[in-house]
Amino acid sequence: MPEPWQVVIGMEVHVQPRTRSKMFCGCAVSQLGAPPNSSVCEICLGMPGVLPVINRAAVEACLKTALALNCEIPRHTKFDRKNYMYPDLPKGYQISQYDLPLSVSGYLDLAGRRIRIRRVHLEEDTGKLVHAGDKLHRARESYVDLNRAGVPLMEIVTEPDLGSADEARLYAEELQTLLRGIGVSDADMEKGQLRAEPNISVRRAGADELGVKTELKNINSFKALHRAILHEVERQIAVLESGGMVVQETRGWSDAEQRTFSQRGKEFAEDYRYFPEPDLPPIELDLVWVEELRRSLPELPAARRARLQEQYALAAADAVPLSEDRALGDLFEAAAAAGAQPKPTANWIIGEVAPSGKLPSAPHLAELVQLVGDGRITRDQGREVLRESVESGESPSAIVARRGFAQVSSESELASIVDAVLAANPKAVEDYRAGKKQAIQALMADLRKRAPQANPKVASDLLLKRLR
Ligand SMILES: [Zn+2]
Protein backbone atom coordinates (compact mmCIF):
# COMPACT_ATOMS: atom_id res chain seq x y z
CA MET A 1 0.00 0.00 0.00
CA PRO A 2 1.47 3.41 -0.90
CA GLU A 3 2.22 5.84 1.90
CA PRO A 4 -0.96 7.97 2.21
CA TRP A 5 0.89 11.07 3.46
CA GLN A 6 3.69 13.02 1.86
CA VAL A 7 6.07 14.97 4.10
CA VAL A 8 7.34 18.36 2.91
CA ILE A 9 10.20 20.04 4.78
CA GLY A 10 12.05 23.27 4.20
CA MET A 11 14.93 24.30 6.36
CA GLU A 12 16.32 27.53 7.70
CA VAL A 13 19.78 27.18 9.13
CA HIS A 14 21.53 29.93 11.05
CA VAL A 15 25.30 29.68 11.03
CA GLN A 16 27.78 31.78 12.94
CA PRO A 17 30.70 32.51 10.62
CA ARG A 18 34.18 32.45 12.10
CA THR A 19 34.96 36.14 12.62
CA ARG A 20 36.93 37.93 15.31
CA SER A 21 34.48 40.78 15.74
CA LYS A 22 30.73 41.30 15.62
CA MET A 23 28.69 42.14 12.54
CA PHE A 24 28.54 45.92 12.88
CA CYS A 25 30.96 46.90 15.67
CA GLY A 26 34.45 46.09 16.92
CA CYS A 27 33.37 43.99 19.91
CA ALA A 28 35.04 40.60 20.07
CA VAL A 29 32.86 37.58 19.42
CA SER A 30 33.03 36.13 22.92
CA GLN A 31 33.44 32.47 23.77
CA LEU A 32 30.78 30.49 25.60
CA GLY A 33 31.16 31.01 29.31
CA ALA A 34 32.49 34.58 29.04
CA PRO A 35 31.16 36.83 31.84
CA PRO A 36 27.72 38.18 30.82
CA ASN A 37 27.73 41.54 29.03
CA SER A 38 31.53 41.61 28.89
CA SER A 39 31.71 42.09 25.12
CA VAL A 40 29.33 44.90 24.37
CA CYS A 41 29.47 48.51 23.18
CA GLU A 42 27.11 51.32 22.36
CA ILE A 43 26.56 49.93 18.83
CA CYS A 44 25.56 46.37 19.74
CA LEU A 45 23.63 47.67 22.73
CA GLY A 46 21.60 49.76 20.31
CA MET A 47 22.24 53.20 21.81
CA PRO A 48 20.79 56.06 19.79
CA GLY A 49 23.04 58.05 17.50
CA VAL A 50 25.65 55.38 16.81
CA LEU A 51 26.71 54.17 13.36
CA PRO A 52 27.14 50.50 12.49
CA VAL A 53 29.97 49.47 10.14
CA ILE A 54 29.75 46.28 8.03
CA ASN A 55 32.19 43.49 8.94
CA ARG A 56 34.01 42.58 5.73
CA ALA A 57 35.06 39.15 7.04
CA ALA A 58 31.41 38.24 7.63
CA VAL A 59 30.45 39.34 4.11
CA GLU A 60 33.34 37.28 2.76
CA ALA A 61 32.26 34.18 4.73
CA CYS A 62 28.68 34.58 3.51
CA LEU A 63 29.77 34.99 -0.11
CA LYS A 64 32.02 31.92 0.10
CA THR A 65 29.17 29.90 1.57
CA ALA A 66 26.80 31.11 -1.13
CA LEU A 67 29.32 30.29 -3.86
CA ALA A 68 29.96 26.82 -2.42
CA LEU A 69 26.17 26.33 -2.49
CA ASN A 70 26.09 27.27 -6.18
CA CYS A 71 24.13 30.47 -5.53
CA GLU A 72 23.86 33.47 -7.79
CA ILE A 73 25.40 36.61 -6.33
CA PRO A 74 23.39 39.69 -7.33
CA ARG A 75 25.41 42.82 -7.83
CA HIS A 76 23.29 44.89 -5.47
CA THR A 77 22.45 43.98 -1.92
CA LYS A 78 21.35 45.87 1.17
CA PHE A 79 20.53 45.50 4.82
CA ASP A 80 17.08 45.99 6.29
CA ARG A 81 15.58 46.42 9.71
CA LYS A 82 13.37 43.65 11.00
CA ASN A 83 11.33 45.24 13.75
CA TYR A 84 10.01 43.38 16.74
CA MET A 85 10.05 43.67 20.49
CA TYR A 86 11.74 41.13 22.67
CA PRO A 87 13.85 41.56 25.81
CA ASP A 88 16.96 40.06 24.15
CA LEU A 89 16.82 42.74 21.45
CA PRO A 90 17.38 46.14 23.07
CA LYS A 91 17.29 48.04 19.76
CA GLY A 92 13.79 46.81 18.99
CA TYR A 93 15.02 45.70 15.56
CA GLN A 94 17.45 43.25 14.10
CA ILE A 95 19.57 44.19 11.09
CA SER A 96 18.89 41.54 8.48
CA GLN A 97 18.31 41.30 4.74
CA TYR A 98 14.87 41.29 3.18
CA ASP A 99 14.32 41.79 -0.53
CA LEU A 100 17.91 42.06 -1.78
CA PRO A 101 19.83 39.26 -0.08
CA LEU A 102 23.51 38.62 -0.67
CA SER A 103 22.72 35.51 -2.73
CA VAL A 104 19.86 33.54 -4.27
CA SER A 105 18.99 30.36 -6.20
CA GLY A 106 21.61 27.78 -5.30
CA TYR A 107 21.56 24.09 -4.50
CA LEU A 108 23.20 21.36 -2.48
CA ASP A 109 23.34 17.82 -3.85
CA LEU A 110 22.50 15.09 -1.35
CA ALA A 111 23.06 11.49 -2.33
CA GLY A 112 21.37 11.83 -5.68
CA ARG A 113 18.83 14.49 -4.66
CA ARG A 114 19.22 18.16 -5.44
CA ILE A 115 18.04 20.42 -2.62
CA ARG A 116 17.41 23.92 -3.86
CA ILE A 117 18.75 26.80 -1.79
CA ARG A 118 16.47 29.83 -1.89
CA ARG A 119 18.93 32.30 -0.40
CA VAL A 120 21.91 32.79 1.86
CA HIS A 121 21.88 36.14 3.60
CA LEU A 122 23.61 37.90 6.43
CA GLU A 123 22.17 39.28 9.65
CA GLU A 124 23.05 39.89 13.27
CA ASP A 125 22.27 37.65 16.22
CA THR A 126 20.17 38.70 19.20
CA GLY A 127 21.17 38.63 22.84
CA LYS A 128 20.23 35.81 25.15
CA LEU A 129 17.85 35.48 28.04
CA VAL A 130 19.10 33.47 30.96
CA HIS A 131 16.22 32.15 33.00
CA ALA A 132 16.80 31.56 36.65
CA GLY A 133 14.17 30.59 39.09
CA ASP A 134 13.22 28.95 42.28
CA LYS A 135 10.48 26.42 41.70
CA LEU A 136 9.79 26.06 45.41
CA HIS A 137 8.92 29.71 45.87
CA ARG A 138 7.60 30.05 42.33
CA ALA A 139 9.99 32.91 41.75
CA ARG A 140 10.94 33.47 38.12
CA GLU A 141 13.84 35.67 37.20
CA SER A 142 15.29 36.34 33.80
CA TYR A 143 18.61 38.00 33.02
CA VAL A 144 19.76 39.48 29.76
CA ASP A 145 23.21 38.70 28.35
CA LEU A 146 24.09 40.76 25.30
CA ASN A 147 27.46 39.20 24.45
CA ARG A 148 25.75 37.48 21.53
CA ALA A 149 23.88 40.60 20.38
CA GLY A 150 25.31 41.70 17.04
CA VAL A 151 27.29 38.52 16.38
CA PRO A 152 27.22 37.77 12.62
CA LEU A 153 24.83 35.10 11.39
CA MET A 154 24.36 33.61 7.96
CA GLU A 155 20.87 32.40 7.22
CA ILE A 156 20.70 29.57 4.71
CA VAL A 157 17.18 28.85 3.46
CA THR A 158 16.12 25.90 1.32
CA GLU A 159 13.07 25.46 -0.84
CA PRO A 160 10.65 22.85 0.59
CA ASP A 161 12.61 20.04 -1.08
CA LEU A 162 13.32 17.74 1.86
CA GLY A 163 11.01 14.75 2.05
CA SER A 164 11.74 13.08 5.38
CA ALA A 165 13.41 13.39 8.76
CA ASP A 166 16.31 11.31 7.41
CA GLU A 167 16.78 13.66 4.50
CA ALA A 168 16.57 16.74 6.72
CA ARG A 169 19.25 15.37 9.03
CA LEU A 170 21.44 14.42 6.08
CA TYR A 171 21.06 17.94 4.69
CA ALA A 172 22.11 19.53 8.00
CA GLU A 173 25.08 17.18 8.32
CA GLU A 174 26.18 17.78 4.75
CA LEU A 175 25.85 21.52 5.26
CA GLN A 176 28.01 21.32 8.40
CA THR A 177 30.65 19.38 6.48
CA LEU A 178 30.60 21.95 3.70
CA LEU A 179 30.91 24.92 6.09
CA ARG A 180 33.83 23.31 7.90
CA GLY A 181 35.40 22.21 4.63
CA ILE A 182 35.51 25.73 3.21
CA GLY A 183 36.67 27.06 6.57
CA VAL A 184 33.93 29.63 7.16
CA SER A 185 32.55 28.24 10.44
CA ASP A 186 33.13 25.60 13.08
CA ALA A 187 29.37 24.98 12.77
CA ASP A 188 29.21 23.28 16.15
CA MET A 189 25.54 22.66 16.96
CA GLU A 190 26.11 22.26 20.68
CA LYS A 191 27.75 25.68 20.82
CA GLY A 192 24.85 27.19 18.90
CA GLN A 193 27.05 27.93 15.89
CA LEU A 194 24.65 25.99 13.67
CA ARG A 195 20.94 26.17 14.43
CA ALA A 196 18.46 24.32 12.28
CA GLU A 197 14.83 25.37 12.04
CA PRO A 198 12.82 22.99 9.90
CA ASN A 199 9.36 23.93 8.68
CA ILE A 200 7.19 20.92 8.21
CA SER A 201 3.91 20.11 6.56
CA VAL A 202 2.17 16.97 5.37
CA ARG A 203 -0.30 16.48 2.56
CA ARG A 204 -2.25 13.59 1.07
CA ALA A 205 -0.11 11.83 -1.49
CA GLY A 206 -0.91 13.28 -4.89
CA ALA A 207 -2.35 16.54 -3.52
CA ASP A 208 -1.29 19.69 -5.37
CA GLU A 209 -1.55 22.16 -2.50
CA LEU A 210 0.99 22.23 0.29
CA GLY A 211 -0.35 21.55 3.76
CA VAL A 212 -0.22 24.10 6.58
CA LYS A 213 3.29 24.18 7.99
CA THR A 214 4.73 24.55 11.45
CA GLU A 215 8.24 25.67 12.24
CA LEU A 216 10.39 23.99 14.88
CA LYS A 217 12.86 25.82 17.13
CA ASN A 218 15.25 24.96 19.98
CA ILE A 219 16.98 22.09 18.23
CA ASN A 220 20.59 21.62 19.25
CA SER A 221 21.74 18.34 17.75
CA PHE A 222 21.29 16.28 14.61
CA LYS A 223 19.64 13.60 16.69
CA ALA A 224 17.13 16.08 18.13
CA LEU A 225 16.48 17.43 14.63
CA HIS A 226 15.64 13.95 13.39
CA ARG A 227 13.44 13.07 16.37
CA ALA A 228 11.66 16.42 16.43
CA ILE A 229 10.68 16.09 12.76
CA LEU A 230 9.47 12.50 13.23
CA HIS A 231 7.32 13.56 16.17
CA GLU A 232 5.95 16.64 14.43
CA VAL A 233 5.03 14.66 11.30
CA GLU A 234 3.26 12.10 13.46
CA ARG A 235 1.44 14.85 15.36
CA GLN A 236 0.24 16.59 12.18
CA ILE A 237 -0.98 13.34 10.64
CA ALA A 238 -2.87 12.53 13.84
CA VAL A 239 -4.50 15.99 13.83
CA LEU A 240 -5.54 15.67 10.17
CA GLU A 241 -6.73 12.08 10.45
CA SER A 242 -8.95 12.99 13.36
CA GLY A 243 -10.58 15.68 11.22
CA GLY A 244 -8.69 18.64 12.73
CA MET A 245 -6.61 21.38 11.11
CA VAL A 246 -2.92 22.05 11.55
CA VAL A 247 -2.36 25.58 12.84
CA GLN A 248 0.47 27.60 11.34
CA GLU A 249 2.72 28.32 14.28
CA THR A 250 6.16 28.10 15.77
CA ARG A 251 6.72 25.06 17.96
CA GLY A 252 9.50 24.23 20.36
CA TRP A 253 11.11 20.85 20.84
CA SER A 254 11.57 19.38 24.29
CA ASP A 255 14.36 16.86 24.27
CA ALA A 256 13.49 15.80 27.80
CA GLU A 257 9.85 15.08 26.99
CA GLN A 258 10.48 14.05 23.38
CA ARG A 259 7.64 16.17 22.02
CA THR A 260 6.98 19.42 20.22
CA PHE A 261 4.89 22.11 21.86
CA SER A 262 3.22 25.29 20.67
CA GLN A 263 5.32 28.42 21.27
CA ARG A 264 3.64 31.20 19.39
CA GLY A 265 1.49 31.89 16.41
CA LYS A 266 3.39 32.30 13.18
CA GLU A 267 4.45 35.82 12.31
CA PHE A 268 4.18 36.99 8.75
CA ALA A 269 6.68 39.21 7.00
CA GLU A 270 4.36 42.23 7.30
CA ASP A 271 4.41 41.87 11.08
CA TYR A 272 8.08 42.86 11.03
CA ARG A 273 7.61 46.12 9.13
CA TYR A 274 10.86 45.63 7.23
CA PHE A 275 12.48 48.78 5.88
CA PRO A 276 15.97 49.56 4.54
CA GLU A 277 18.53 50.12 7.29
CA PRO A 278 19.10 53.89 7.09
CA ASP A 279 22.52 53.80 8.77
CA LEU A 280 24.11 51.43 6.25
CA PRO A 281 24.68 52.22 2.57
CA PRO A 282 23.44 49.67 -0.01
CA ILE A 283 26.32 47.49 -1.14
CA GLU A 284 27.49 47.23 -4.72
CA LEU A 285 29.54 44.05 -4.77
CA ASP A 286 32.90 44.14 -6.49
CA LEU A 287 32.57 41.35 -9.05
CA VAL A 288 36.34 40.92 -9.24
CA TRP A 289 36.37 40.22 -5.51
CA VAL A 290 33.51 37.73 -5.87
CA GLU A 291 35.42 35.92 -8.62
CA GLU A 292 38.54 35.86 -6.44
CA LEU A 293 36.52 34.28 -3.65
CA ARG A 294 35.08 31.73 -6.05
CA ARG A 295 38.57 30.78 -7.20
CA SER A 296 39.84 30.62 -3.62
CA LEU A 297 37.35 27.91 -2.63
CA PRO A 298 39.04 24.57 -1.96
CA GLU A 299 37.83 21.33 -3.46
CA LEU A 300 34.45 20.87 -1.78
CA PRO A 301 34.08 18.02 0.74
CA ALA A 302 31.62 16.00 -1.34
CA ALA A 303 33.91 16.15 -4.36
CA ARG A 304 36.96 15.27 -2.30
CA ARG A 305 35.15 12.36 -0.66
CA ALA A 306 34.31 10.88 -4.05
CA ARG A 307 37.86 11.43 -5.33
CA LEU A 308 39.54 9.87 -2.26
CA GLN A 309 37.39 6.76 -2.65
CA GLU A 310 38.18 6.56 -6.33
CA GLN A 311 41.86 7.48 -6.34
CA TYR A 312 43.01 5.63 -3.21
CA ALA A 313 40.40 2.87 -3.05
CA LEU A 314 39.32 4.05 0.40
CA ALA A 315 36.09 2.91 2.02
CA ALA A 316 33.45 5.61 2.55
CA ALA A 317 34.01 5.36 6.32
CA ASP A 318 37.63 6.48 5.79
CA ALA A 319 36.96 8.99 3.02
CA VAL A 320 34.31 10.85 5.03
CA PRO A 321 36.48 12.10 7.94
CA LEU A 322 39.38 12.82 5.58
CA SER A 323 37.18 14.96 3.36
CA GLU A 324 35.45 16.73 6.24
CA ASP A 325 38.66 18.10 7.71
CA ARG A 326 40.78 19.79 5.13
CA ALA A 327 44.04 19.55 7.13
CA LEU A 328 43.59 15.81 7.70
CA GLY A 329 42.77 15.26 4.03
CA ASP A 330 45.84 17.22 2.97
CA LEU A 331 48.03 15.23 5.37
CA PHE A 332 46.64 11.97 4.01
CA GLU A 333 47.32 12.89 0.42
CA ALA A 334 50.82 14.19 1.16
CA ALA A 335 51.73 11.02 3.10
CA ALA A 336 50.36 8.86 0.29
CA ALA A 337 52.41 10.90 -2.18
CA ALA A 338 55.46 10.20 0.03
CA GLY A 339 54.88 6.50 -0.51
CA ALA A 340 52.68 5.45 2.42
CA GLN A 341 50.03 2.79 1.88
CA PRO A 342 46.66 4.58 1.71
CA LYS A 343 44.54 2.28 3.91
CA PRO A 344 46.88 2.10 6.96
CA THR A 345 47.67 5.80 6.54
CA ALA A 346 43.96 6.60 6.74
CA ASN A 347 43.70 4.40 9.85
CA TRP A 348 46.57 6.21 11.56
CA ILE A 349 45.17 9.61 10.75
CA ILE A 350 41.61 8.81 11.82
CA GLY A 351 42.55 6.69 14.83
CA GLU A 352 45.55 8.56 16.23
CA VAL A 353 46.28 11.88 14.58
CA ALA A 354 42.76 13.32 14.55
CA PRO A 355 41.98 12.63 18.24
CA SER A 356 45.35 14.09 19.30
CA GLY A 357 44.72 17.28 17.37
CA LYS A 358 48.43 17.51 16.48
CA LEU A 359 49.59 16.94 12.95
CA PRO A 360 52.88 15.20 12.13
CA SER A 361 54.72 16.10 8.93
CA ALA A 362 53.62 14.01 5.96
CA PRO A 363 57.05 12.36 5.39
CA HIS A 364 57.26 11.43 9.07
CA LEU A 365 53.78 9.93 9.01
CA ALA A 366 54.67 7.97 5.88
CA GLU A 367 57.79 6.66 7.61
CA LEU A 368 55.84 5.64 10.69
CA VAL A 369 53.17 3.82 8.68
CA GLN A 370 55.99 1.97 6.91
CA LEU A 371 57.74 1.01 10.18
CA VAL A 372 54.56 -0.44 11.65
CA GLY A 373 53.46 -2.00 8.38
CA ASP A 374 56.79 -3.81 8.04
CA GLY A 375 56.42 -5.12 11.56
CA ARG A 376 59.63 -3.35 12.62
CA ILE A 377 57.80 -1.77 15.53
CA THR A 378 54.49 -2.61 17.12
CA ARG A 379 51.43 -0.47 16.84
CA ASP A 380 51.76 0.56 20.48
CA GLN A 381 55.35 1.60 19.91
CA GLY A 382 54.20 3.36 16.76
CA ARG A 383 51.81 5.46 18.83
CA GLU A 384 54.60 6.52 21.13
CA VAL A 385 56.94 7.25 18.23
CA LEU A 386 54.22 9.33 16.58
CA ARG A 387 53.68 11.36 19.74
CA GLU A 388 57.37 11.96 20.16
CA SER A 389 57.90 12.80 16.52
CA VAL A 390 55.13 15.40 16.63
CA GLU A 391 56.58 16.94 19.79
CA SER A 392 60.25 17.00 18.78
CA GLY A 393 60.13 16.98 14.99
CA GLU A 394 62.55 14.05 15.01
CA SER A 395 62.01 11.37 12.35
CA PRO A 396 60.31 8.12 13.43
CA SER A 397 63.26 5.94 12.33
CA ALA A 398 65.67 8.11 14.36
CA ILE A 399 63.40 7.75 17.41
CA VAL A 400 63.15 3.99 16.92
CA ALA A 401 66.95 3.67 16.67
CA ARG A 402 67.65 5.96 19.61
CA ARG A 403 65.13 4.35 21.92
CA GLY A 404 65.94 0.79 20.91
CA PHE A 405 62.30 0.29 20.11
CA ALA A 406 63.07 -2.61 17.84
CA GLN A 407 63.80 -4.72 20.90
CA VAL A 408 60.64 -6.63 21.19
CA SER A 409 60.21 -9.38 23.72
CA SER A 410 56.76 -9.26 25.23
CA GLU A 411 54.19 -11.48 23.60
CA SER A 412 51.68 -8.71 23.18
CA GLU A 413 54.24 -6.57 21.42
CA LEU A 414 55.32 -9.39 19.14
CA ALA A 415 51.79 -10.31 18.16
CA SER A 416 51.48 -7.73 15.41
CA ILE A 417 54.88 -8.65 13.96
CA VAL A 418 53.95 -12.32 13.93
CA ASP A 419 50.68 -11.40 12.22
CA ALA A 420 52.60 -9.43 9.60
CA VAL A 421 54.95 -12.37 9.03
CA LEU A 422 52.04 -14.77 8.62
CA ALA A 423 50.26 -12.41 6.26
CA ALA A 424 53.39 -11.87 4.15
CA ASN A 425 54.23 -15.58 3.77
CA PRO A 426 51.06 -17.45 2.88
CA LYS A 427 53.03 -20.16 1.05
CA ALA A 428 55.25 -21.00 4.05
CA VAL A 429 52.17 -21.00 6.32
CA GLU A 430 50.38 -23.38 4.00
CA ASP A 431 53.47 -25.64 3.78
CA TYR A 432 53.87 -25.74 7.53
CA ARG A 433 50.22 -26.58 8.07
CA ALA A 434 50.49 -29.27 5.39
CA GLY A 435 53.22 -30.97 7.44
CA LYS A 436 56.46 -29.45 6.10
CA LYS A 437 57.76 -28.44 9.52
CA GLN A 438 60.96 -26.91 8.09
CA ALA A 439 58.83 -24.07 6.64
CA ILE A 440 59.06 -22.50 10.11
CA GLN A 441 62.64 -21.50 9.21
CA ALA A 442 61.47 -19.18 6.45
CA LEU A 443 58.93 -17.59 8.77
CA MET A 444 61.49 -17.05 11.55
CA ALA A 445 63.90 -15.57 9.04
CA ASP A 446 61.31 -13.07 7.93
CA LEU A 447 60.46 -12.30 11.53
CA ARG A 448 64.12 -11.60 12.37
CA LYS A 449 64.36 -9.35 9.34
CA ARG A 450 61.33 -7.36 10.40
CA ALA A 451 62.21 -7.25 14.08
CA PRO A 452 65.94 -7.92 14.38
CA GLN A 453 65.93 -7.63 18.13
CA ALA A 454 62.89 -9.72 18.81
CA ASN A 455 63.41 -12.34 21.51
CA PRO A 456 63.75 -15.50 19.32
CA LYS A 457 62.32 -17.90 21.91
CA VAL A 458 59.20 -15.80 22.59
CA ALA A 459 58.81 -15.08 18.89
CA SER A 460 59.05 -18.71 17.76
CA ASP A 461 56.70 -19.86 20.51
CA LEU A 462 54.17 -17.27 19.44
CA LEU A 463 54.60 -18.19 15.81
CA LEU A 464 54.04 -21.89 16.57
CA LYS A 465 50.98 -21.04 18.63
CA ARG A 466 49.49 -19.05 15.72
CA LEU A 467 50.24 -21.84 13.25
CA ARG A 468 48.42 -24.45 15.26
ZN1 LIG B 1 29.65 46.06 20.16
Q: What angle do CA 96, 97, 101 make, to 5 degrees?
A: 150
Q: How far away, in angstroms, is 156 Cα from ligand 1 center?
A: 24
411-424 and 426-433 helices, crossing angle to 10°: 100
Q: How far away, in angstroms, is 18 Cα from ligand 1 center?
A: 16
Residue 269: per-residue pLDDT: 59
Q: What angle do CA 448, 453, 455 make, to 5 degrees?
A: 85
Q: How far away, in angstroms, is 189 Cα from ligand 1 center?
A: 24
Length of the chain: 468
Residue 15: per-residue pLDDT: 97
Using the Cα atoms of residue 9, residue 232, residue 131 and residue 172 in order, give the sign of their dihedral.
Answer: negative
Residues 114 and 125: beta-carbon distance below 8 Å: no
Q: How far away, in angstroms, is 145 Cα from ligand 1 center?
A: 13
Q: How far away, in angstroms, is 47 Cα from ligand 1 center?
A: 10
Residue 450: per-residue pLDDT: 82
Q: How far away, in angstroms, is 222 Cα from ligand 1 center?
A: 31
For the cut 80, the answer to whether the pLDDT of residue 356 exceeds it is: yes
Residue 260: per-residue pLDDT: 85
The pLDDT tens digits for 152-167 are 999 999 999 999 999 9
CA 259 to chain centre: 26
Q: What percentage of the chain carries pLDDT values higher than 70?
A: 95
Return d(Cα 176, Cα 179) in angstroms, integer.
5
Q: How far away, in angstroms, is 123 Cα from ligand 1 center?
A: 15
Q: How far away, in angstroms, is 304 Cα from ligand 1 center?
A: 39
Q: How far away, in angstroms, is 39 Cα from ligand 1 center?
A: 7
Q: How far away, in angstroms, is 46 Cα from ligand 1 center?
A: 9
Band the pLDDT of 74: cuts 50, 70, 90. very high
Q: How far away, in angstroms, is 403 Cα from ligand 1 center?
A: 55
Residue 217: per-residue pLDDT: 86
Supply the pTM of this predicted model. 0.76
The pLDDT tens digits for 369-393 are 998 887 778 788 899 999 999 999 9
Q: How far away, in angstroms, is 193 Cα from ligand 1 center?
A: 19
